[in-house]
Amino acid sequence: MGYKSMVSLLTAQNATETTKSLVDTLTVPQGVKNLVGVGAQVNSAGTTTLEGCAYIIELESDDMNPWSGTQQFLGVGFANGNGAGWVGLNPYLHPCNIPVTGGSHIKCSVTFDLAQTINPSSRIQLVFE
């Protein structure tokens, strides 16, 4: 069996708050059985202050059985090293093995740990097998 990868829209976040923001809702492809990887990208035009960025990726489904509630993953933090813009690590793909049902929907959200002075955009990547 092969892998199927999906990437959400790049969605602007209101990061001046630390509340959960919906990035996108993705439909699980037909013919897959497990979610095997979760990743995120945070993108920004930059900032002029030394500022860190850490976040939580949250996945939820209202129409998938079994699902076991909200699934949370740690977002890779970013740091501004020289005052000219964010310097970040390559996006990290969290390995997992969560049963899924083809055709169901997964709501993908991001919650920032700290309020940001700029509004970054984020996207979520899901990998299925």
- pTM: predicted TM-score of the whole model, two decimal places: 0.83
Please tell me the predicted confidence (pLDDT) of residue 112. Answer: 82
Give every strand in the sheet of 105-112, ordered side by side: 21-27, 105-112, 55-60, 71-74
- CATH architecture of residue range(s) 4-128: Sandwich (2.60)
- Please tell me the distance from the alpha carbon of residue 112 to that of residue 8, in angstroms, as a whole number: 18
Please tell me the predicted confidence (pLDDT) of residue 51. Answer: 62
In the chain, the percentage of residues whose pLDDT exceeds 90 is 40
Count of residues making up the chain: 129
* pLDDT range class, residue 77, cuts 50, 70, 90: low
* pLDDT range class, residue 78, cuts 50, 70, 90: low
Please tell me the predicted confidence (pLDDT) of residue 90. Answer: 54
The residues spanned by each domain of the chain are 4-128
Please tell me the predicted confidence (pLDDT) of residue 31. Answer: 94
* pLDDT range class, residue 25, cuts 50, 70, 90: very high
Asked if 57 contacts 110 with a C-beta cutoff of 8 angstroms, the reply is yes
Residue 37 Cα distances to 7, 14, 60, angstroms: 12, 26, 15
